[in-house]
């Protein structure tokens, strides 16, 4: 039976606040040490109270788990550790019942080498349809223009398969062979997988690693025209049968290269803004708005029905692929004092430790995340200021169990601690004794309640998800000031990137006679006059003002 999507407004993703979770990390209902769908179901109250509107689930499919589930061996089932298909459907319907949308992963670039397609391909005759599900070669000297992405572990994008007696192509780990989109049967299978999840009522799909779908000699094998043909086909198949669904593109590229992934509004609805993310961290450390203003100026317009996906941290490293060499050196220096904090081309740390646990800095960055043009994405645990564990391998240090309470295993599981899929964070600063949901829940000024407040506030003003952005240009470059306009609302945001108090004078000529009302406390500020508008901000302080018609103005009407 085909179920419809749960959102009423076809543009729902523009107003969404997305929360990124791995089911294994959230809550363990059967006490085997691994989070599961029945556990996630139990925590819907928490998510509803947080105010997030869309749950993005990291891969939960059968997998050898050598890339945390991005190495899929069966696209149409649930990994037994996380529960059954019935458990998933129960969770999905319950989330929908609370007005939350659910987004799952569609990993289209590669499979696990354990997938039956690969097992069949390596024994099938060269040139057969089965063999051609993947990209084979007799030499490892093809497509030499393609860079290596996992620079710490991979030496080549080709690996020799002794069974097939040929090399196969892979942009990521060598156990993740790339699918071959020059074989039309591959796209057919991908569409079947997509329909399977959409039929079930899933609202959104994150398309993983899409710049690399197609390879062509003499190119860098990224963002190629034929890759866009594939994506347009996927979107058309979605539009043909499903209303109110959404595709989010993971394309870690420069803005001008990401722009085509929106097509003419006929490819992806959302795309992550990868270059913006490191520049928010950089602007903060430099105490200078320039990196942010610069990248926004280089961000092209996108079609009406499209939206940027904004994030500070996620399940991967803080990638530094989209900055220049000088900026990269600076970021490494500023944010990874210990070399163990680095992986591939990036920094594997969570938000709170990156901010040295300074709540004002954390709040400032979150205020930008929630007020910049786009849909904000919060990584689980960051709302309570969870830490990371740089002694765990790969990116596992930022994937530790959610910290629910000060009880054994952070209240995540009642299993023996040795059985947990990952140790909990237990250091004195970020450990579950100090940082957990239970203690923050009742404390009015906790990070959790701050986040609940801000999310609720953002949702009251549609302009954040839908309006345009306009930078002001005050002389003091430590101040980032911008207007959000649209939907009959005008919001002025002012942020102090400095660790010291700062004055600023804003040119608000166009808004003369209007009254800024501070949105958190509903505090009326002086009416904007003919002179520059003066404000003082405390260290890392920020203001959100709604510009309202002043009383005098209303009476004169
Ligand atoms: C995406 C995922 C990352 C994964 C990679 C390869 O970039 O975000 O976690 O390792 O794809 O599948
Ligand atoms: Ca479990």
Environment class of residue 148 by beta-carbon count within 10 Å: exposed (0-12), middle (13-18) or buried (19+)?
A: middle
250 among known catalytic residues: yes
Exposed/middle/buried for residue 225 (C-beta within 10 Å: 0-12, 13-18, 19+): exposed
The CATH number that domain 467-556 falls under is 2.60.40.1180
Q: Give ion ligand 2 contacts, CB < 5 A.
A: 28, 30, 32, 34, 36
Instruction: Please give the Cα distance from 336 to 178 (Å, whole number).
Output: 32
Indicate where the chain has its CATH 3.90.400.10 domain(s): 116-169
Q: Where in the chain is the domain with CATH 3.20.20.80?
A: 12-111+184-436
Q: Write down the catalytic residue from 20, 113, 132, 208.
A: 208
Q: Which fold has domain 12-111+184-436?
A: TIM Barrel (3.20.20)
Q: How far apart are the first and last CA of the chain?
A: 57
pLDDT 10s per residue in the chain (557 long)? 788 889 999 999 999 999 999 999 999 999 999 999 999 999 999 999 999 999 999 999 999 999 999 999 999 999 999 999 999 999 999 999 999 999 999 999 999 999 999 999 999 999 999 999 999 999 999 999 999 999 999 999 999 999 999 999 999 999 999 999 999 999 999 999 999 999 999 999 999 999 999 999 999 999 999 999 999 999 999 999 999 999 999 999 999 999 999 999 999 999 999 999 999 999 999 999 999 999 999 999 999 999 999 999 999 999 999 999 999 999 999 999 999 999 999 999 999 999 999 999 999 999 999 999 999 999 999 999 999 999 999 999 999 999 999 999 999 999 999 999 999 999 999 999 999 999 999 999 999 999 999 999 999 999 999 999 999 999 999 999 999 999 999 999 999 999 999 999 999 999 999 999 999 999 999 999 999 999 999 999 999 999 999 876 777 66
Q: Which atom of ligand 1 is nearest to the CA of 176?
A: 12
Query: Which of the listed residues 25, 68, 70 should we mutate to test ligand 1's pocket, taking the one with most ligand atoms within 8 A of CB?
Result: 70
Q: Which ligand is nearest to the CA of 420?
A: 2
Which atom in ligand 1 lies closest to the alpha carbon of residue 173? 6
Distance CA 196, CA 54 (A): 20
**CA distance to 7, 178, 187, 390, 491, per residue, from 108 (Å):** 25, 9, 9, 30, 39
Q: Closest by alpha carbon to 483, among 475, 491, 495? A: 491
Q: Separation of 255 CA from ligand 1 center, angstroms? A: 20
* DSSP element (H, E) containing 21: strand 18-21
- CA separation for the pair 148, 126 (Å, rounded): 26
The sign one gets for the Cα dihedral 380, 386, 392, 394 is positive
Span from the CA of 33 to the centroid of ligand 2 (angstroms): 6
Say how many residues make up the chain: 557
Q: What is the pLDDT of residue 550?
A: 83
d(CA 73, CA 61) in angstroms, rounded, equals: 8
Q: Is the pTM here over 0.85, yes or no?
A: yes
Q: Which fold has domain 116-169?
A: Oligo-1,6-glucosidase; domain 2 (3.90.400)
Residues 6+ apart with CB under 8 A from 221: 143, 145, 146, 171, 212, 214, 215
**Cα gap 170→553, rounded to integer Å:** 64
Q: Which pLDDT score, from 0 to 100, does residue 557 have? A: 64
- The reported pLDDT for the residue numbered 552 is 67
Location of each CATH 2.60.40.1180 domain in the chain: 467-556
Tokens of 120: 């069949």
DSSP letter for 124, please.
S
């Amino acid at each position: 039976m085909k179920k419809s999507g749960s959102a009423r407004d076809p543009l729902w993703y523009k107003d969404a606040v997305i929360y990124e979770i791995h089911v294994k990390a959230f809550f363990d209902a059967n006490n085997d040490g691994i989070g599961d769908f029945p556990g996630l179901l139990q925590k819907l109250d928490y998510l509803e109270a947080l105010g997030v509107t869309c749950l993005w689930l990291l891969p939960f499919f059968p997998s050898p788990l050598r890339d945390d589930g991005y190495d899929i061996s069966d696209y149409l089932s649930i990994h037994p550790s996380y529960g059954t298909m019935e458990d998933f459907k129960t969770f999905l319907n319950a989330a929908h019942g609370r007005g939350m949308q659910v987004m799952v992963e569609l990993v289209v670039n590669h499979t696990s080498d354990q997938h039956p397609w690969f097992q069949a391909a390596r024994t099938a005759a060269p040139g057969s349809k089965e063999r051609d599900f993947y990209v084979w070669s007799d030499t490892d000297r093809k497509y030499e223009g393609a860079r290596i992405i996992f620079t710490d572990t991979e030496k080549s994008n080709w690996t020799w398969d002794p069974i097939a007696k040929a090399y196969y192509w892979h942009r990521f780990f060598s156990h993740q062979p790339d699918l071959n989109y020059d074989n039309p049967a591959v796209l057919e299978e991908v569409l079947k997988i997509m329909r399977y999840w959409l039929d079930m009522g899933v609202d959104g799909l994150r398309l993983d690693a899409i710049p690399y779908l197609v390879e062509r000699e003499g190119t860098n094998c990224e963002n190629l025209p034929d890759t866009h043909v594939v994506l347009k086909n996927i979107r058309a198949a979605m539009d043909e049968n499903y209303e109110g669904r959404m595709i989010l593109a993971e394309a870690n590229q420069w803005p001008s290269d990401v722009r085509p992934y929106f097509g003419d509004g006929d490819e992806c609805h959302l795309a992550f803004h990868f270059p913006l993310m490191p520049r928010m961290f950089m602007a903060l450390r430099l105490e200078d708005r320039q990196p942010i203003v610069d990248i926004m100026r280089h961000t092209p317009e996108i079609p009406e029905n499209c939206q940027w996906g904004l994030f500070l941290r996620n399940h991967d490293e803080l990638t530094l692929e989209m900055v220049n060499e000088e900026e990269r050196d600076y970021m490494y220096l500023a944010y990874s004092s210990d070399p163990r904090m680095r992986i591939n081309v990036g920094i594997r740390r969570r938000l709170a430790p990156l901010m040295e646990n300074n709540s004002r800095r954390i709040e400032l960055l979150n205020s930008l995340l929630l007020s910049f043009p786009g849909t904000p994405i919060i990584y689980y645990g960051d709302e309570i200021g969870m830490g990371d564990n740089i002694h765990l391998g790969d990116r596992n240090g930022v994937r530790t169990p959610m910290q629910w309470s000060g009880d054994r295993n952070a209240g995540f599981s009642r299993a023996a601690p040795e059985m947990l899929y990952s140790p909990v964070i237990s250091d004195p600063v970020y450990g579950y004794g100090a940082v957990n949901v239970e203690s923050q829940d009742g404390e009015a000024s906790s990070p959790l309640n701050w986040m609940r407040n801000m999310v609720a506030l953002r949702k009251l003003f549609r302009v954040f998800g839908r309006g345009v952005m306009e930078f002001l240009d005050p002389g003091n470059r430590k101040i980032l000031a911008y207007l959000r306009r649209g939907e009959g609302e005008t919001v002025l945001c002012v942020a102090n990137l400095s660790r010291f108090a700062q004055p600023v004078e804003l040119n608000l000529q166009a808004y003369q006679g209007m009254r800024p009302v501070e949105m958190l406390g509903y505090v009326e500020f002086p009416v904007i006059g003919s002179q520059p508008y003066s404000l003082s901000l405390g260290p890392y302080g920020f203001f959100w003002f709604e510009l309202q018609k002043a009383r005098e103005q209303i009476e004169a009407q």
